[in-house]
Amino acid sequence: MSEWVRKSQQSISRQKVKVDTLRKPKREQSLWWMYLPALLVVSIFILYPFINGIRVSFTDWNGFSQTKNWVGIEQYVRMFQDPTTWLVVKNTLLYGIGSTILQNVIGLLYALLLNQSIRFKAVTRTIVYLPVIISPLVMGYIWYFFFAFQNGALNDAFLLFGLDKINALGNPDLNPWIIVFVNTYQFVGIAMIIYLAGLQSISKDFYEAAVIDGASAFQKFKNITLPLLMPAITINMVLNIIGGLKLFDVILALTGGGPGNASQSMSTYMYSLYFDRQDAGYAATQGVLMAFIILILSLLALVYFKRKEVDA
């Protein structure tokens, strides 16, 4: 038996020597043909349209005619003078930043709660996470039943308590916040799960040492939990910002972007410019602005939170 083990070990080490001598003189291959199919699909359906979109943004194209007139930066001038642009950018930032803050704060609180040994924690985790797997469109409809003016669940409850009905979805000051709320409700489960995993990876030794030093619960949280959670915070911030800035389905389901353009995001505005108003060139310009904003914000978030991470 041991004879056999020794022999096989010898043969393995001999093989290793052989591999090393074989590999050294040969240049490392790229094996590029293995990623060629993936590269082609991504290039044709994302990269090429993206670059082409920048080209279209300098034209007055209406989306169907054969002629595209080069108009230089006219669409960009128009975009910066269009008051709707600023409304839509403001909404998009509200959706992105508002739901990022809410999802992270609530997600972290839920994770702290469920990280203790309490009963029902598995059930609670399942219930909080469940909306993540439902289509945002369906989620929008579900909350439509809740917020609808006529016979909506919220107004039914208001009536019960003798309060006046409110037109939550038709109120331009209120409905962007409802969209933030619904988006948070739907995706807070992701933040919670990532924070839970982060919390579970922190060694108990740190807390025991802190207890010996007489640290309070808040000090433990501030000096141990938070710094060691930084990788989880980074990924959550970036995921949620990207998700929030791209919001589309849930807006169409809840408010359709209205009343007027009051709850429109950049993606729904672009959609209506292109399909309702045949303003393709201008829609492409809005697309460029949207990509630019998402790129800048996610890079900022990434760099900012990466710098705060400590080695654990």
Partner 1 sequence: MKGKKNKRGWTTLAIVISLLHLVPFYILITTSLKANNDFSSKWLLPTEWRWDNFTSAWENASLGTAFFNTTVITAVAAALLIVFGSLAAYPLARMNTKLNKFIYFLFIAIMIIPPLTALVPLYQMVVDMGLMNTRLVAVLNNLAAFLPLTIFLYAGFIRSTIPKELEEAAKIDGAGTLMIFFRIVFPLLKPITATVLIISCVFIWNDYQFAIFFLQDKEVQTLTVALSSFFGQNLSQLNLVAAAALMSMLPMTILFLFLQKYFVAGLSSGSVKG
User: By CB under 8 A, how many residues form the interface with partner 1?
Assistant: 101
CB of 44 to partner 1, least distance (A): 7
Q: Which stretch binds partner 1 (CB under 8 A): 2-10, 11-19, 163-171, 219-227?
A: 11-19
CB of 162 to partner 1, least distance (A): 14
Residues 17, 22, 25, 29: is their CA dihedral positive or negative?
negative
Asked if residue 95 binds partner 1 (CB under 8 A), the reply is: no
Asked if residue 32 binds partner 1 (CB under 8 A), the reply is: yes
Site string for partner 1, 172-191 (x = CB under 8 A): -------------x----x-
Question: Is there a cis peptide before residue 259, judged by omega within 30 degrees of 0?
Answer: yes
Asked if residue 201 binds partner 1 (CB under 8 A), the reply is: yes
CB of 21 to partner 1, least distance (A): 12
From 37, 72, 83, 214, residue interacting with partner 1 (rule: CB under 8 A): 37
Q: Which of 20, 128, 74 is nearest to 285 (CA)?
A: 74
Specify the 3-state DSSP secondary structure of 53: helix
CB of 179 to partner 1, least distance (A): 15
How many CB atoms within 10 Å of residue 203? Answer: 11
CB of 15 to partner 1, least distance (A): 6
Distance CA 6, CA 9 (A): 5
From 9, 15, 69, 223, residue interacting with partner 1 (rule: CB under 8 A): 15
Residue with tokens 């460029």: 288
Specify the 3-state DSSP secondary structure of 37: helix
Q: Which stretch binds partner 1 (CB under 8 A): 82-90, 97-105, 196-204, 211-219?
A: 196-204
Specify the 3-state DSSP secondary structure of 59: strand
CB of 182 to partner 1, least distance (A): 9
- Residue among 93 and 235 whose Cβ is closer to partner 1: 235
Distance CA 54, CA 75 (A): 11
CB 148 within 8 A of CB 216: no
Site string for partner 1, 109-148 (x = CB under 8 A): -x--xx-xxxxxx-xx-xxxxxxxxxxxxx--xxx-xx-x
Q: Which stretch binds partner 1 (CB under 8 A): 91-99, 151-159, 167-175, 203-211?
A: 151-159
Residues of span 230-269 touching partner 1 by CB under 8 A: 231-232, 234-236, 239, 242, 245-246, 248-249, 252-253, 267
Q: Which of 259, 237, 204, 217 is nearest to 305 (CA)?
A: 237
CB of 253 to partner 1, least distance (A): 7
Using only the alpha carbons of the chain, give its radius of gyration: 27
Residues of span 275-294 touching partner 1 by CB under 8 A: 280, 283-284, 287-288, 290-291, 294
Q: Tokens representing 60?
A: 């007055």
Residues of span 70-89 touching partner 1 by CB under 8 A: none
Distance CA 253, CA 161 (A): 28
Q: Which of 247, 158, 231 is nearest to 198 (CA)?
A: 231
Amino acid at 300: L
Residue 26: exposure state from Cβ atoms within 10 A (0-12, 13-18, ≥19)? exposed
CB of 262 to partner 1, least distance (A): 20
Distance CA 145, CA 149 (A): 9
Asked if residue 226 binds partner 1 (CB under 8 A), the reply is: no
CB of 3 to partner 1, least distance (A): 21
